[in-house]
Amino acid sequence: MKKTIAVVLAIIFALGMVGCAANGNGQGTAETAENPLDVLNKVWDSYTDDEKFPAAGGDMSEANMKDDAPGNVALDDADTVAYLTSFPADMVDKLDAAASLMHMMNANTFTCGAFHLKDAADTDAVCAAIRDGLNSKQWMCGFPDKMVIAKVSGCIVSVYGAEDLVNTFRDKLTAAYENAEIVYDEAIAF
């Protein structure tokens, strides 16, 4: 009887290990869609204290606003999403989640948005629209130097601002996500 119980427990344990291995625990090279906030947190958490700058994330709601960290952006007001992230207001209905991180002193110094689309087939068109919007924007209170737009883990990430801050974020993003694909990495046209 003890041998039978031991064999049954060994089989259950082995099947449990196979199930965990199949799950992958979020590791591996296969792209899996992540929450935009998780993407920004993973990148921001990889910064050293010396690399970080005064930042805030999220929208103006008490639930989403974060100091010194990325935060969620509610999608119920397209103009607010556009204002906080420079995501095209006329395309907000294509999103099912968004998050932001920006420099607390001047958003044109560093603004980052991460977005998850309802339909992945819209990704290339949305990346192009973000780029076109940044290049045609009327800037006030300083001019950002450059932009980077990337596809990563089922999300689009856009960042613009001072070249050194944008480059640091890009490098941290590509180090954190092997599957990151830089779609645009260029100066902003004026």
Mind listing the pLDDT tens digit for each residue in 80-137? 999 999 999 999 999 999 999 999 988 889 999 999 999 999 999 999 999 999 998 8
**d(C-alpha 160, C-alpha 186), whole Å:** 10
Q: Which pLDDT does position 60 carry in this prediction?
A: 86
pLDDT digits (tens, 9 = 90+) for 136-160: 888 777 789 999 999 998 999 999 9
Q: What is the pTM of this model?
A: 0.81
Measure the N-to-C terminal CA separation of the chain; round to a whole number of Å: 80
> Is the model's pLDDT at 54 over the cut of 50?
yes
Asked if residue 44 has pLDDT above 90, the reply is yes
The 3-class secondary structure across the chain, one letter per residue, is: CHHHHHHHHHHHHHHHHHHHHHHHHHCCCCCCCCCHHHHHHHHHHCCCCCCCCCEEECCCCCCCCEECCCEECCCCCHHHHHHHHCCCHHHHHHEEEEEEEEECCCCCCEEEEEEEECCHHHHHHHHHHHHHHHHHCCCCCCCCCEEEEEEECCEEEEEEECHHHHHHHHHHHHHHCCCCEEEEEEECCC
171-185 pLDDT tens trace? 999 999 999 999 999
Given a cut of 60, whether residue 30 has pLDDT beyond it is no
Look at residue 33 in the predicted model and tell me its pLDDT. 64
Q: Which two tokens stand for residue 114?
A: 């991460």
What's the confidence (pLDDT) of residue 34?
A: 85
User: Of 49 and 60, which is predicted with more confidence?
Assistant: 49
Helix axes 36-45, 163-176, angle to 10 degrees: 110
pLDDT reading at 31 higher than 80: no
> What's residue 74's pLDDT?
96
Cα-based distances in Å from 50 to 53, 107, 177: 8, 20, 22
Say if CB 100 and CB 112 are below 8 A apart.
yes
Residue 32's pLDDT band (boundaries 50, 70, 90)?
Answer: low
Report whether pLDDT(27) > 60: no
**Mean pLDDT for the stretch of residues 163-170:** 97
